[in-house]
A and B are shown apart, each in its own frame.
Chain A
Amino acid sequence: MASFDQNAEKNLQLSHARPDYVLEVKDLSLSYGDEDIVKHVNLQIQPGEVLCIAGESGCGKSTLLKAIHGMDAVNVTGGCVCFEGKNLKGLNKRELRSLMGTGIGLIPQNPQGSFNPLRTFEVQMKETMASHGLPFDPDEMVQLMESMGLPQGKKLLKSRPFELSGGMNQRVAIVFSLLLKPSVLLCDEITSALDVMSGQNVIDEIESYASHSNAAIIMVTHHLGIADRIADTVAVMNHGEIVEYGSKDQVLHDPADSYTRMLLEKIPRIRREAAS
């Protein structure tokens, strides 16, 4: 619980600078080489809010997530990302590094690739915690793994990423991210490598983390069903632009944009196919 207090303290500090938003994306444009991937995106997220960014693959949502996370693999051509009122661009390397994981956490799309394949999970988690000056509690990790449907957590700690399946790696990656107790957690298509049941578990776990710790969640997905389950707000992205952004009820049940309507039309069709 101590860490939750820590988050509350963070939020308290935040209230002086910016009462409402833990993260703001202001008029952000991104490019790879000459190609514009993301155009003039604006987003605001409050603590405890779950924002789903929906869109088809290639619409720029993953790139947007990378930029929010402060990675330098993308060119920022305009606008900025502010975390707790601070522009990420203004931070030096060390500040940015210490922000990653604990300030802004990321659950990547490719879970296996996010670990060193040759070292045990325990060693890697210990190293991560040590980098942030945090204590490492293996029991807490085992507990979280078990609640995520990963039995024999003690044994898992001693195993290496290449020994586990993609789905198991995905869940361990989520455990890693949650143990760092980020104020903003970015999730990039996290259920894609999982079957339905483990997908449910994972979504439940993230939802409960959001409500307990008052953390903001940004979840990128092409699956509007997930958005319907856990989102507070939904942004729909198409060709690098946000075409619709608002509360879940408004976007999913009373969409104004034709592209959103088209995306929504696909959901019942899939359900019918699955039922028949």
Chain B
Amino acid sequence: MKTVVSVKLIKRRARIKAVIIGSLCILLILAAVLSDFLMPHDPNATSALLIRKPPSAMYPFGTDSFGRCVFSRVLAGAKTTIFATTFLVAVTFAIGTILGIISGYYGGITDSVIMRTTELFLAFPQMVVAIAVAGILGGGLSAALIALGVTAWTGYAKLARSHTLSIRNENYIAAARLAGLSGWQIILRHILPNILFPLITNALTQIGTTMIGISGLSFLGLGVIPPQAEWGSMISESRAYIQLAPWSVLYPAAATVLTIMLFNYLGDAVMELGAAERRS
């Protein structure tokens, strides 16, 4: 016989899960913000005497082939990765959401122009475009962010548009229009707050994907330029010496995987929470 778990319990579980994962993510972001104070060594200081030393008390993750402290570089890389990701997700989220809301709210020609453009960018394979654009622009973190951002806003635009369409004809929007509020006032006061939750949920699920994209480009040498620390490029630099100094690859690799997993899990948890809240 099937046991039926009450909605209340499902909700509580979802909330607890979201809070735990959320705090872990905040902890990680804090570590990235405070990385300058947490680093035992200068992440860029090279030393000919300390090449490829195994982990020790002084160098908890060992040193790489330039004698740099892997632990400090992993921390510095956290800053690069997390800041770049947050920045990219925030910018593409803002652009996509604004375009989507305008498209859904005003309709007509504005809508067709914006949606055709969105479909256009959606029709291209994201990573292929990113690699080509980053490659042509000649690498560097900003080039990588542009390359990934070119296609990343489309998802938000489509989602924002469909949510806007679903509430556009509600009574309170009509009332606001009758009260003489301008289009922008209605969008900011009435539409945006009502559709924000699903959009933010979607943005959270994109964090992991974006990190994979950034580290992938950096790994190819199309993202962060060495010696700046970034996990993808650290792995790329050290992989030739994986036999001699596995720690210099495995620690940044572990950091990458754990961070992406954590943020992906956060996306899932928030999505679950949203589904549980809707059930009541």
Q: Quick check: do A and B touch in the complex, using CB within 8 A?
A: yes
Which residues of A line the B interface, CB within 8 A?
A: 32-33, 72-73, 75-76
Which residues of B line the A interface, CB within 8 A?
A: 1-2, 4, 6
B80 CB, nearest partner CB in chain A, Å = 50
Q: Which residue of B lies closest to A35 (CB)?
A: B4
User: Would you call B4 and A33 a contact (CB within 8 A)?
Assistant: yes
User: Would you call A32 and B1 a contact (CB within 8 A)?
Assistant: no
Q: Which residue of B lies closest to A76 (CB)?
A: B1
User: Would you call B4 and A72 a contact (CB within 8 A)?
Assistant: no
B74 CB, nearest partner CB in chain A, Å = 50
Contacts of B2 in A (CB 8 A): 72-73, 75
Q: Which residue of A lies closest to B1 (CB)?
A: A75
Contacts of B6 in A (CB 8 A): 33
User: Cα distance A33–B4 when bound, in Å?
Assistant: 6
User: Cα distance A123–B244 when bound, in Å?
Assistant: 64
Q: List 5 A-B contacts (CB under 8 A).
A: A32-B4, A33-B4, A72-B2, A73-B2, A75-B1
Contacts of A75 in B (CB 8 A): 1-2
User: Cα distance A105–B4 when bound, in Å?
Assistant: 28
Contacts of B1 in A (CB 8 A): 72, 75-76
Contacts of A76 in B (CB 8 A): 1
User: Cα distance A274–B1 when bound, in Å?
Assistant: 47
- Residue among A32, A33, A73, A76 having the largest count of chain B Cβ atoms under 10 Å: A33
Contacts of A33 in B (CB 8 A): 4, 6
User: Cα distance A76–B1 when bound, in Å?
Assistant: 8
Q: Which residue of A lies closest to B6 (CB)?
A: A33
B216 CB, nearest partner CB in chain A, Å = 39
Contacts of A73 in B (CB 8 A): 2
Q: Which residue of A lies closest to B4 (CB)?
A: A33
A32 CB, nearest partner CB in chain B, Å = 7
Give 6 new A-B contacts, CB below 8 A, not counting A72-B1, A72-B2, A76-B1: A32-B4, A33-B4, A33-B6, A73-B2, A75-B1, A75-B2
A110 CB, nearest partner CB in chain B, Å = 21
Q: Which residue of B lies closest to A75 (CB)?
A: B1
B279 CB, nearest partner CB in chain A, Å = 14
User: Cα distance A33–B2 when bound, in Å?
Assistant: 9
Contacts of A72 in B (CB 8 A): 1-2
A29 CB, nearest partner CB in chain B, Å = 13
Contacts of B4 in A (CB 8 A): 32-33
User: Cα distance A75–B1 when bound, in Å?
Assistant: 6
Q: Which residue of B lies closest to A32 (CB)?
A: B4
Q: Which residue of B lies closest to A77 (CB)?
A: B1
A70 CB, nearest partner CB in chain B, Å = 14
User: Cα distance A73–B2 when bound, in Å?
Assistant: 8
User: Cα distance A72–B3 when bound, in Å?
Assistant: 12
User: Cα distance A32–B4 when bound, in Å?
Assistant: 8
User: Cα distance A33–B8 when bound, in Å?
Assistant: 13
User: Cα distance A76–B2 when bound, in Å?
Assistant: 11
A93 CB, nearest partner CB in chain B, Å = 14
User: Cα distance A93–B6 when bound, in Å?
Assistant: 28
User: Cα distance A106–B1 when bound, in Å?
Assistant: 22
User: Cα distance A73–B6 when bound, in Å?
Assistant: 16
Q: Which residue of B lies closest to A73 (CB)?
A: B2
User: Cα distance A222–B28 when bound, in Å?
Assistant: 62
Contacts of A32 in B (CB 8 A): 4
B94 CB, nearest partner CB in chain A, Å = 41
User: Cα distance A75–B2 when bound, in Å?
Assistant: 8
B57 CB, nearest partner CB in chain A, Å = 58
A87 CB, nearest partner CB in chain B, Å = 16
User: Cα distance A185–B137 when bound, in Å?
Assistant: 73
User: Cα distance A255–B28 when bound, in Å?
Assistant: 74
B6 CB, nearest partner CB in chain A, Å = 8
A187 CB, nearest partner CB in chain B, Å = 26
User: Cα distance A32–B246 when bound, in Å?
Assistant: 57
User: Cα distance A4–B223 when bound, in Å?
Assistant: 77
A179 CB, nearest partner CB in chain B, Å = 32
User: Cα distance A8–B39 when bound, in Å?
Assistant: 88
B265 CB, nearest partner CB in chain A, Å = 30
The 6 closest A-B pairs by CB, nearest first: A33-B4, A75-B1, A32-B4, A72-B2, A72-B1, A33-B6
B10 CB, nearest partner CB in chain A, Å = 13
A80 CB, nearest partner CB in chain B, Å = 14
B146 CB, nearest partner CB in chain A, Å = 44
User: Cα distance A32–B1 when bound, in Å?
Assistant: 11
A239 CB, nearest partner CB in chain B, Å = 21
User: Cα distance A237–B160 when bound, in Å?
Assistant: 49
User: Cα distance A104–B54 when bound, in Å?
Assistant: 73
User: Cα distance A32–B2 when bound, in Å?
Assistant: 10
User: Cα distance A72–B4 when bound, in Å?
Assistant: 13
A72 CB, nearest partner CB in chain B, Å = 7
